């Protein structure tokens, strides 16, 4: 099965996934979640907006929360380009491609270019942002998971090959791709510009819909500490999935939902990917198989529930009914347990 090929001479230089904008109905509650549980630092705030960053981040913000009275949304996913000149190159590139791109004024950021990708995901690019002191050595100020830095986004979209081509044309490399065994249909792609397997991930379902962003933490116990703090502060039910180990082997994970349902993944530093001989790795999946190396399958909420992008139409098919969920896995086990012959299903095995 062919996957989109990387353009190793891209039209402009994107360096990484860097910042996003979410809306929130109760800013005080969201502030408590992101500062006390995730452990982000507040860079600036007013009555309607909070800018947050990880303890290792020098950039002013990797997450902006905006007050809303409506349904919560993801307004935009941000990427850094290396220089201001790259922004001009980007504008010329999108103009040549017939893709609408517009300059925007964004607080604390340099020139910013707004555009949508090939499946409608609203993006922005900037080269500059106000800087703040890193606080990674000021350990006494760290809270919750003490999240280090923004790492990646995951988006759901019906046409994964079309989504992937937009990014591989811009120089993104594919670390891993997922296809359904037998039919060789591309249902997932992991793409990167920095030195690990993921800046942008797409999975095949109706969309575009925002699934999660990932923040790095330093040690496994930082994920556990986030769970403990969440439990103590009334956010216990925010822990949706994990801790566990991803089947693709990139890292450990824990997924949490903020008060508006926006999902954040905490993960440990993933494998390094730099060399030219890092070829895309194929992962074949079969229906109703737990793809985690260990740990329970993802709950139905993780599979189905997402955040809409503001003002963006959702198209395509919904959840793949063959996708194993925690609920379907448990349902499949129950008859076995009642028979008095319990059988444990190992990773990659369907429960008996
Ligand atoms: Fe992730």
pLDDT (tens digit, 9 = 90+) per residue, 19-52? 999 999 999 999 999 999 999 999 999 999 999 9
C-alpha of residue 90 to centroid of ligand 1, in Å? 27
Instruction: Give the Å distance between the CA of 336 and the centre of ligand 1.
Output: 33
Distance 47 CA to ligand 1 centre (A): 31
Local structure of 269: helix, strand or coil:
coil
Tell me the CA–centroid distance for residue 18 and ligand 1, in Å. 14
Query: If you measure from the C-alpha of residue 253 to the centroid of ligand 1, how many angstroms do you get, rounded to a whole number?
Result: 8
Pick from 70, 54, 71: nearest CA to 62: 54
Ligand 1 centroid distance, CA of 214 (Å): 5
- Mean predicted confidence (pLDDT) in 179-199: 91
What is the CA(96)–ligand 1 centre distance, in A? Answer: 32
What share of the chain in percent tops pLDDT 70?
93
The pLDDT, as a whole number, for residue 331 is 87
What token pair was written down for 178? Answer: 């997922």
Torsion, Cα of 305, 246, 170, 104 (10° steps): 40
Question: What is the pLDDT at residue 338?
Answer: 53
Residue 39 neighbours by CB under 8 Å, 6+ apart: 54, 55, 142, 143, 144, 145, 146, 147, 222, 226
- How high is the pLDDT of residue 352? 35
pLDDT above 60 (res 271): yes
pLDDT band at residue 246 using 50, 70 and 90 as cut-offs: confident
Q: pLDDT class for 347, splitting at 50, 70, 90?
A: very low
User: What local confidence, expressed as pLDDT, does residue 348 receive?
Assistant: 45
In 186-217, which positions are buried (b, 16+ CB within 10 angstroms) versus exposed (e)?
Answer: bbbbbbbbbebbbbbbbbbbbbbbbbbbbbbb
Q: How far is the CA of 213 from the centre of ligand 1 (A)?
A: 6
Residue with tokens 């270019």: 113
User: Strand 112-116 relative to strand 49-53: parallel, antiparallel, unpaired?
Assistant: unpaired
Q: What is the pTM of this model?
A: 0.93
What is the arithmetic mean of pLDDT over 271-297? 86
Residue 182's pLDDT is: 80
CB burial of residue 105 (10 Å; 0-12, 13-18, 19+): exposed
* Average pLDDT for 138-155: 97
How many Å lie between the centroid of ligand 1 and the Cα of residue 340? 38
CA–CA separation, 152 and 188 (whole Å)? 15
Pairing of strands 41-45, 49-53: antiparallel
Is residue 210 predicted with pLDDT exceeding 60?
yes
Q: Which helix (H) or strand (E) holds 297?
A: none
What's the gap in Å between 335 CA and the centre of ligand 1?
A: 33
**286/345: higher pLDDT:** 286
pLDDT, tens only, 66-86: 999 999 999 999 999 999 999
How many whole angstroms separate alpha carbon 38 and alpha carbon 151?
14
3-state secondary structure of 74: strand
Instruction: Return the percentage of the chain with pLDDT > 90, whole number.
Output: 80
Ligand 1 centroid to 342 CA: how many Å? 33
Distance, CA 147 to ligand 1 centroid (Å)?
A: 14
Q: How confident is the model at residue 350 (pLDDT cuts 50, 70, 90)?
A: very low
The answer to whether the beta carbons of residues 14 and 94 sit under 8 Å apart is no
Residue 149 has pLDDT above 70, yes or no: yes
Quick check: 4 pLDDT over 90?
A: yes
Residue 219: its pLDDT value, please? 96
Q: Using pLDDT thresholds of 50, 70 and 90, give the confidence band for residue 323.
A: confident
Ligand 1 center from residue 95 Cα (angstroms):
31
């Amino acid at each position: 099965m062919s996957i989109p090929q990387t353009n190793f001479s891209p039209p402009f230089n994107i360096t990484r996934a860097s910042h996003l904008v979410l809306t929130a109905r109760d800013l005080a509650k969201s502030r408590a979640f992101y500062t006390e549980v995730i452990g982000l630092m507040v860079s600036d705030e007013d009555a309607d907006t909070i800018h947050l960053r990880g303890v290792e981040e020098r950039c002013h913000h990797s997450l902006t929360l905006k007050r809303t009275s409506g349904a919560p949304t993801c307004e935009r996913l941000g990427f850094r380009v290396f220089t201001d000149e790259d922004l001009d190159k980007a504008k010329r590139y999108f103009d040549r491609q017939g893709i609408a791109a517009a300059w925007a004024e964004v607080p604390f950021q340099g020139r910013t270019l707004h555009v949508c990708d090939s499946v409608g995901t609203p993006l922005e690019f900037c080269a500059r942002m106000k800087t703040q002191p890193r606080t990674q050595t000021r350990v006494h100020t760290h809270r919750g998971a003490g999240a280090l830095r923004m790492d990646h986004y995951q988006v759901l979209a019906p046409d994964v090959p079309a989504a992937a081509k937009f990014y591989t044309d811009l120089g993104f490399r594919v670390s891993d791709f997922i296809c359904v065994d037998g039919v060789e249909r591309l249902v997932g792609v992991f793409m990167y510009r920095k030195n690990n397997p993921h800046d942008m991930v797409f999975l095949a379902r109706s969309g575009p819909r925002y699934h999660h962003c990932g923040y790095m933490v330093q040690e496994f116990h930082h994920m556990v500490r986030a769970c403990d703090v969440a439990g103590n502060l009334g956010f216990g039910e925010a822990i949706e999935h994990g801790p566990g180990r991803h089947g693709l082997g990139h890292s450990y994970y824990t997924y949490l939902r903020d008060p508006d349902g926006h999902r954040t993944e905490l993960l440990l530093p993933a494998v390094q990917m730099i060399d030219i001989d890092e070829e895309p790795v194929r992962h074949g999946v079969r229906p109703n198989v737990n793809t985690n190396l260990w740990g329970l399958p993802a709950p139905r909420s993780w599979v189905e529930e997402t955040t809409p992008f503001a003002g963006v139409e959702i198209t395509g098919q919904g959840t793949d009914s063959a996708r194993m969920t925690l609920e379907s896995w448990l349902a499949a086990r129950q008859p076995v347990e009642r028979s008095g012959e319990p059988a444990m299903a190992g990773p990659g095995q369907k429960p008996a």
